[in-house]
Copies of this chain bind each other. A is one copy, B any other.
Amino acid sequence: MTPPPAIVLVSGGLDSATTLAIAQSEGFSVHALSMDYGQRHRIELECAHRVVRAAGVREHSILTLDLRSFGGSALTSELAVPKDRAAEDIARGVPITYVPARNTILLSYALALAEVKSAQDIFIGVNAVDYSGYPDCRPEYIAAFERMANLATKAAVQDGRSLRIHTPLIAWTKGQIIRRGLELGVDYSLTSSCYDPAPDGAACGRCDSCQLRLKGFADAGACDPIRYSPAV
C-alpha cells in the first residue's frame, strides 16, 4: 500500500524536527513545507533544509513571503529580542516575538498544498505547555482552523476528503518532546532555536527560546549538541 501523503511544516527548530519524525513513524509520506517570511534568524531556513534532508524527505516546498512590510514583531523587524527573562515571565502573556497571524498564514499554505497533493493530513509542531504566550498555539485555535479548513476547499466540500491538523507535541513539555525525538533518532545538532544567533550561527543561550531549549535538554537528561556563544 502506498503510504498516505502528509504536509509537515518544518521551521528548522527542534519542535518541527520532532514532528517530522513522528509523522514518518506514523507511516506518512512527508511533503515538507517551510516558509521564508523574512525572519531575522535566517539560519532557521538552512536548518530546515538539513532536517528535511536528514529525514530522507525529497519533497520540500519553500514559500517566500515578506511579513516585514507588516511590522509588529521582533522576529521580523528591528525590535530588541528580550534576554535573560525569568521562567515565569516567559510563560506569561504574548511575547514580543509573536508574528501576527503567523500560524494562520502557515496553515493556510499547508491547506493549499494539501489540496494540490491530495493529502488529508497536516502536521504542525505547536506546543501550548512550555510557551503558552502564542494564541495560535492553543488546541482551541487548532480545532477552529481545522473546522474552517473543512469548509474551505474543494477537496473537503466536494470530494469528501476531510482534513486533519495533527499537533502531536501540543500537550508535551520540552523535555518530553526531546525524549521522544531522541527515541526516533532525530539529530538535534541540525536544528536551531535561538531568536538572536551570533553571525557564526552560535545560539545566544539567553533568549526565551534558548532558555526553554536548554531546560528541555536538562529535563530529558540529554546534552544539547548545538553550539552556544562562549559568554554562556
Contact = CB atoms under 8 A, between A and B. Distances in A.
B152 A103 contact: yes
Interface stretch (A142-150, A166-174, A196-204, A222-230): A142-150
Interface string A41-75: 00000000000000000000101111101111000
Interface in A153-174: 153-154, 156-158
A26 interface: no
B115 A108 contact: no
Interface stretch (A10-18, A132-140, A206-214): A132-140
Number of copies: 2
Interface residues of A, number: 44
A134 B100 CA distance: 27
A100 B72 contact: no
Nearest to A109: B105
A101 B152 contact: yes
Nearest to A136: B152
26 contacts: A63-B69, A70-B113, A70-B116, A72-B115, A100-B111, A100-B112, A100-B153, A101-B108, A101-B111, A103-B152, A104-B112, A104-B148, A104-B149, A105-B109, A108-B108, A135-B152, A135-B153, A135-B154, A135-B156, A135-B157, A135-B158, A136-B152, A144-B152, A145-B152, A147-B148, A148-B148
Given A64-B65, A100-B116, 16 more contacts: A61-B70, A71-B116, A72-B116, A94-B154, A100-B112, A101-B109, A102-B112, A104-B108, A104-B112, A104-B152, A105-B105, A105-B112, A135-B151, A135-B156, A135-B158, A140-B151
